[in-house]
Amino acid sequence: MWTEIWVAVGILVGLGLTFATVLALANKQFWVYEDPRIDQVTDLLPGTNCGACGQPGCHAFAEVIVDGSVLPGKCTVSSAEKIEEIAEFLGVDAGKEEKRVARLQCAGGRMEDRDKADYQGQKTCRELAVVHGGNRGCAWGCLGLADCEKVCTFNSIKMNDNELPVVDIETCTACGDCVDVCPKDLFTIMPISQKLIVQCKSLLEGDLAQQICSVACDACGRCVSDSIPGLIEMHENLAVIDYSRNELASPSATWRCPTGAIQWVTEQQFKVASQPLFPLGRVEVLSDKQVRL
Amino acid sequence: MLLTFTNGVHPQEFKSWTNNSPVERLPFFADYVIPLSQHIGAPSKSLVRKGQYVARGEKIAEPGAYVSVAYHSPVDGVVSAVELAEHPGGKMVPSIKIKADPFSSQRLEKKPIDWKSLTKKEFADHLQNSGMVGLGGAAFPSHVKFAVPDDKKCDYLIINGCECEPFLTADHRVMAEYPLEVMRGIEMLQYFLTPKKTFIGIEANKKDAINILQLEANKHPELAVEIVSLEVKYPQGAEKMLISAILTNEVPSGTIPLDGGYLVSNVGTVAAIAEYFDSGKPLIERVVTVSGSNIKRPANLLVPIGTSMQELLNACGGFKSSDFGDSARILLGGPMMGMAQKSLDVPVVKGTSGVLALGVLEVPGRNTFQCIRCGRCLEACPMFLNPSTLGLLAKKGLYEEMLEENLMDCMECASCSYVCPSGIPLVQSFRVAKAVNRERKVA
C-alpha cells in the first residue's frame, strides 16, 4: 500500500517540478519590463474607471502619467490631496486641471415645455425619443425621463420636480456618460469658468419658438448686441457663444433676454426643488397686490 | 390552399369600414406644407422663395443627392414661407409652405412622356424628377429601387398588393379603381427591367380587386402577369415575406431581395408611375385611408401631398368624441407599424398610406409585466428571430450583443409586440438598439 502512495506522490511532485521549470523558463523568456510605479500609481487613483481623463480606465491613465505625457491633475475624480500625493511620488508637477461639469442645453421642464400627448411605453428617454421624437412640444428639448440620472456613476444627476436634471457641480467628474446617453444630445462638458450658457437648442424663431416653450431662444439677438462684439453670434436662430473669448463674457448679455434662454450660471443650473410653478402662463395674479412673473 | 410564409400573426382586420367606399377627391384647402425630407435619403433643396407664385405640378424642390427626389406643388398658390415645420416623424424639418390660390383648379399643364424612347438612365432620371417614392409607407426613392446595377438582374418582378395592415384599404381601392394604370405601370417596368416573370400578390380578402385585375390581365396576355391570391396574414406585405410566399425562396440574412433577382414594388407606386408617364402628373397626390373607431365617416381619399391632418380629419367629419386628448390615438400608417402623432398640424406626406384615429376600446392603456418566456413571439416572428432574448438583452442595454442575435434582420413589423401576453413593447426597444448600433458604427 505504501508503495502506491509513494508512486502517486512521486508523480505529483515530478509533474509539479516539470511545470515549475517550464514556468520559470517562460517567465525568463517572455519577461516584459513594466514600470513598478504604474501599479503603485493605480492604487492611488480612485479606481472608478470613469473615463473622464480621456483614458479607457485608471490603469491606462496611470501608464500615461508615469510616462509623463499627462499630468496627474487630469483626473478630476480624485481629491486634491491624492493628486498631490501622486505628483510627489512621481516627482512631477500636479498640473491644475480646470474643473469641468456637464451642462444641459435646455431649460424646458414640464412646466415650460408641456406634454402634448400621453405616453404609455417604456419609461426611458431613448425609447420615448423613437416614438415621434417624444411627447413634449419641443422637438429638441429634454424629455424628462431621467436616462442621465440612471447612467450617472457618481449620483451627480438628480431630476427635480420640474423634470429637469440638476447636475451637482461638486460631484460631477465630467466623465461624459450623460452626454452619450441623452437621445437629444443636450449635455455638453464645459469648464466651470464658462458661465454664460445658452440653455436652448430650438432652431425656431420668434413666436413659433415661444409658443412651444416659454424659455426657448427666440432668436431676437439682444444678447448679441449687449455683449462684446464677436462673443455671441446668431447661428440658425440660436445664440452661439464663442468660448475662445470666454474671458470677455459678462452677465450683461443675459439682462435683456426676453425668455431667459441665456443664463449666467455660477453654480448648478437648476434648482433641486423648483419654486411654485404656474402652468397657466408666465404671468399669474396671486392676490390683489402680488403679481409674479 | 393559399400561399403564404411561415409564422406571422392574425390581427383583426377592420377593413370593412372602408373597403367598399370609392376614392373621393378632396377639395383644395387654404394651406399646404411640403416637408423637404419625406423620403428616405438626403433632404431636397428648395427652388422657390417667399412670395413666389407656383402652379400645380410645378417643381419646387430638386433632389439634394442621388438618393433624394424632387418635390412639386400640389396646388396653384403663393409660397408663404420656407422654414422649419413639423414632420410626421417627430422632427422639425425645412418645409415649403404654400398658400393656395382660391381659384386653383385640378388642371395640370403637363404632357405625356414617350417612355418607349427613353433609355434606362433617362427613365430613372424621370422617376427622380417626378418625385416618385415607394407609396407603401417607407418612401424609398423609386429611381434608386428600379436602377438595377449591371451585375444584378431582376428575374422576378413582384407587385405588392397585399396591404396586410389592419384598417388600410388605400392599395385595395387603387387596384379596384385603377386597374388600367396598374397594368400600364407593369408594362413600363417590364420594358425597362425585362423580368422573366411578373406576379401581383394580393391577400385573399380583396376578392373584387383580384377579379378586376384578373380581367385586366386577361386583356394583356403579352404581359403574362400572374395574379397570386395569398393567405390573409400579417406581415404578408413585407418584401421578404411576399417573396417567400410566392416563390417559396428565402432572402438570406444580410442581403437585399435584388441580390436574389427579386424586385418588389407597391401597387400604388406602379399606378403612380403609369400616371406620370401617361399624363405627366408628378407625385403630388396619393390615396389615403382615413379610418378608426373615433372617425365619424371613414373614407378613402385622394389627398394632395401637404394637406394638414386637421383638414383631412375635418373632411371625414372629425372625431366622434369631442375630447381628443383623452380618448384617442392618432396614427399615421397602419396600427402595426404606423407612427403615433402628438399633433394635428403635421402634413400628409408621400409615405402616408392611412390616418387612423383610434378610440379607447382599441387603445387600452396596457401594463408591462416581466417576460414569462412563453415563446409566442418566436412563433410570430416572420424573420425567425428570438424576440424574447433580444428583449431581455435590450432591457439590460446590451445593444452590441443583440447584433449577434441578428438584430439587424428585424424589420419592425411588431408581430412580437402584438402577441406578447406581458405587453412588452419589444419593437420599441429594438428600434432604440438599432439606432444605437448604427450610431456606434458611424462613431
pLDDT digits (tens, 9 = 90+) for A29-48: 998 888 888 888 888 888 88
Q: What is the ipTM of this complex?
A: 0.84
Chain B nearest C-alpha distance from A132 (Å): 4
Q: Is the residue at A202 inside a domain?
A: yes
> A72 and A115: one domain?
no
Contact B314, B50 (CB under 8 A): no
Nearest CB to A133 within list B90, B326, B365: B90
Q: Does residue A41 share a domain with residue A158? A: no
Whether A121 and A47 share a structural domain: no
Q: Is some CB atom of chain B closer than 8 A to the CB atom of A14?
A: no
Contacting residues of A for B342, CB less than 8 Å apart:
116-117, 132, 135
Question: What does the pLDDT read at residue B201?
Answer: 94
Q: Enumerate residues 375 to 404 of chain B having a beta carbon within 8 A of any beta carbon in chain A.
A: none
pLDDT in tens, B33-71: 999 999 998 999 999 999 999 999 999 999 989 999 999
The 10 Å Cβ neighbour count of residue A5 is 9
Q: How far is CA A286 from CA A111, A114, A162, A290, in A?
A: 18, 22, 20, 6
Note whether residue A270 is domain-resident. Answer: yes
Give the mean model confidence (pLDDT) for residues B19-38. 92
Query: Is A132 in contact with B90 (Cβ distance < 8 A)?
Result: yes
Average pLDDT of the residues in B6-22: 91
Give the number of other CB atoms < 10 A from CB of residue A262. Answer: 26
Are A176 and A257 part of one and the same domain?
yes
Give the integer Cα–Cα distance in Å for B78 and B95.
14
In this structure, are A57 and A182 located in the same domain?
no
Task: Determine whether the interchain pair A133/B86 forms a contact, defined as Cβ–Cβ distance below 8 Å.
Answer: no
| pLDDT tens, position by position, B283-309 | 999 999 999 888 889 999 999 999 999
Residue A157 in any domain: the answer is: yes
Per the CB < 8 Å rule, is A133 touching B89?
yes
Q: Is residue A174 part of a domain?
A: yes
Q: Do residue A113 and residue A162 come from a single domain?
A: yes
pLDDT at B51: 93
B89, B92, B365 member nearest A204 (Cβ): B92
A45 and A105 in a common domain: no
Whether A145 and A258 map to the same domain: the answer is yes
Q: Mutation target for A interface from B84, B87, B400, B439: give the one with most A CBs within 10 A.
A: B84
In a domain, A1, yes or no: no
CB contact under 8 A, A127 and B325: no
**CA-based diameter of chain A, in Å?**
108
Residue A61 forms part of a structural domain: yes
**Mean pLDDT (whole number) for B255-262:** 90
Q: Number of Cβ pairs closer than 8 Å across A and B?
A: 53
- The mean per-residue pLDDT over the stretch A1-20 comes to 95
Which strand ranges, in their side-by-side order, compose the sheet holding B299-304? B23-25, B299-304, B285-291, B354-358, B329-332, B339-341
Smallest Cα distance from A71 to chain B, Å: 28
Of the listed ranges A5-9, B101-105, B216-220, B383-387, the least confidently predicted one is: B101-105
CB contact under 8 A, A126 and B432: yes
Same domain, yes or no: A216 and A108: yes
User: Per the CB < 8 Å rule, is B342 touching A139?
Assistant: no
Q: Which three cell numbers stand for residue B132?
A: 416618385
B342 with A117: Cβ contact below 8 A = yes
In a domain, A31, yes or no: no
Mean pLDDT of B315-332: 73
Tell me how far apart the alpha carbons of residues A201 and A184 are, in angstroms, rounded to a whole number: 9
Of the residues A120, A135, A140, the best mutation for testing chain B's interface (the one with the most B CB atoms within 10 Å of its CB) is A120
Could you give the CA distance from residue A37 to residue A44 in angstroms, rounded to a whole number? 11
Write out chain B residues lying below 8 Å of A122, CB-based.
368, 425, 428-429
Single-letter code of the amino acid located at A35: D
Q: What is the mean pLDDT of chain B?
A: 90
Same domain, A60 and A85: yes
B215 touches chain A (CB under 8 A): no
- Please indicate, yes or no, whether residues A158 and A269 belong to a single structural domain of this protein: yes
Number of domains in chain A: 2
- Give the structural domain span for A286: 100-292
Which residues in B lie closer than 8 A to residue A204 (C-beta atoms)? 84, 92
Task: Retrieve residue A246's grid coordinates.
Answer: 470666454
Query: Is A120 touching B (CB cutoff 8 A)?
Result: yes
Q: Per-residue pLDDT for A278 more than 70? A: no
Specify the CATH number for the domain of residue A62.
Answer: 1.10.15.40
Preferred mutation among A125, A132, A218 to probe B, highest tally of B CBs within 10 A: A132
Helix (H) or strand (E) holding B24: strand B23-25
d(CA B53, CA B75): 10
Amino acid (1-letter code) at residue A138: C
By the CB < 8 Å criterion, does A127 face chain B?
yes
Same domain, A107 and A209: yes
The mean of the pLDDT values for chain A is: 84
Q: Which residues of chain B does A135 touch, with a Cβ-Cβ cutoff of 8 Å?
A: 342
- Domains, chain B, with CATH or none: 115-279 (3.40.50.11540), 376-442 (no CATH)
A14 belongs to a structural domain:
no
